[in-house]
């Protein structure tokens, strides 16, 4: 069997089953970040993301945006848990004939974003590789009372996103703003029951959140904000790399959030019980199965 038959999530599930961790691991594989014991008031967050030439970027892309992206996707994972990013290490693989000016730009984009979010670059590794590959590991902190995971959704919670969905293929995947500010505003002021960053597409990450919470839900197509350059709802919720946050909170907390009239939070659906499944109320007010239309990645 080849890995393409099993798919990314099949492989991850396969590994995860065999892993045992000790009591210092509050949450291991299976969320945006690992959650580790740290001190009386805080947990440590730990996440890594690899980007590869020809898959996540091409050599025609602006090198500084490639470096920026390498860090931004991990910042988005820290945001997904409600945390504050702190320290990163960077592994960089590249062919021998890579131009130093290209690597300078890549590193420049990364270090400017690091500075913007007060992230310390504390180490790394440089290796020869057939294509450019950047793997970044990021540590963060989150107050115990602010930690949000995927598995905390409750029946009747409202489902929100932090911004327009779709459009990664038009360049947003290289220039997005990780939603750290929004995440901290949410966890400091509201009881957020569950949250995930949308890296695999709204459809896939909604599935992750609801599966981890062992619940169902309904999305109202007409409420989902779409990127300006996207016309097709199915494509928008499937293509991935939005790096918006998807989160749920109780109806009373949601009312309080909406009362603040802040532009960046959009209610798009509601959590239901497991038996209900995951449905879409489409533009004709027809309730259809959310995943029956080819929204799955694998």
| Contact between 65 and 35 (Cβ < 8 Å) | no
φ, ψ dihedrals at 171, nearest 5°: 110, -15
- CA dist., res. 227 & res. 235, Å (int): 11
DSSP 276: G
* Site residues (vs its own copies, CB under 8 A): 1-6, 8, 11-12, 14-15, 18-22, 24-25, 28-29, 33-34, 36, 39, 46-52, 54-56, 86-87, 89-94, 96-101, 103-104, 107, 111, 115, 118, 120-131, 133, 135, 137, 139
User: Within a 10 A sphere around the Cβ of 276, how many other Cβ atoms?
Assistant: 14
DSSP 78: H
Nearer to its own copies, 94 or 219 (CB): 94
Residue 157 DSSP SS3:
coil
CB of 4 to its own copies, least distance (A): 4
Nearer to its own copies, 107 or 233 (CB): 107
Number of residues that this document lists for the chain: 298
DSSP states along 137-174: EEEEEEEGGG---GGG--TTPEEEESS-B--GGGTHHH
CB of 132 to its own copies, least distance (A): 10
Question: Which tokens belong to 218?
Answer: 């309904």
CB of 92 to its own copies, least distance (A): 8
Scored b (16 or more CB within 10 A) or e, 70-86 reads bbbbbbbbbbbbbbbbb
| Contact between 132 and 93 (Cβ < 8 Å) | yes
Nearer to its own copies, 200 or 253 (CB): 200
Nearer to its own copies, 40 or 275 (CB): 40
Nearer to its own copies, 39 or 284 (CB): 39
Nearer to its own copies, 99 or 260 (CB): 99
CB of 120 to its own copies, least distance (A): 4
CB of 54 to its own copies, least distance (A): 7
| Contact between 202 and 236 (Cβ < 8 Å) | yes
CB of 213 to its own copies, least distance (A): 19
């Amino acid at each position: 069997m080849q890995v393409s038959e099993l798919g990314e999530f099949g492989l991850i599930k396969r590994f995860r089953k065999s892993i045992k961790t000790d009591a210092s691991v509050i949450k291991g594989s299976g969320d945006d970040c690992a959650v580790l014991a740290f001190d009386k008031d805080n947990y440590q967050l730990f996440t890594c993301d690899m980007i590869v030439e020809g898959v996540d970027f091409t050599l025609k892309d602006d090198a500084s945006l490639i470096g920026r992206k390498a860090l931004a996707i991990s910042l988005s994972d820290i945001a997904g848990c409600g945390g504050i990013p702190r320290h990163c290490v960077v592994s960089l693989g590249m062919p021998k004939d890579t131009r130093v000016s290209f690597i300078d730009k890549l590193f420049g984009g990364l270090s400017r974003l690091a500075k913007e979010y007060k992230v310390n670059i504390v180490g790394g590794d440089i290796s020869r590789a057939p294509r450019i590959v950047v793997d970044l590991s990021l540590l963060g902190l989150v107050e115990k009372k602010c930690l949000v995971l995927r598995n905390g959704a409750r029946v009747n919670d409202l489902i929100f996103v932090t911004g327009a969905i779709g459009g990664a293929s038009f360049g947003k995947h290289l220039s997005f703003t990780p939603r750290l500010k929004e995440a901290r505003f949410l966890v400091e002021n509201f009881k957020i029951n569950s949250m995930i960053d949308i890296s695999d597409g709204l459809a896939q990450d909604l599935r992750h959140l609801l599966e981890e919470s062992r619940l169902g839900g309904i999305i109202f197509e007409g409420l989902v904000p779409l990127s300006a350059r996207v016309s097709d709802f199915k494509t928008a919720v499937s293509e991935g790399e939005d790096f918006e946050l998807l989160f749920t909170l109780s109806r009373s907390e949601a009312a309080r959030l909406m009362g603040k009239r802040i532009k960046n939070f959009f209610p798009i659906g509601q959590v239901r019980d497991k038996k209900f499944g995951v449905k879409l109320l489409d533009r004709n007010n027809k309730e259809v199965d959310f995943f029956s239309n080819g929204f799955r990645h694998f």
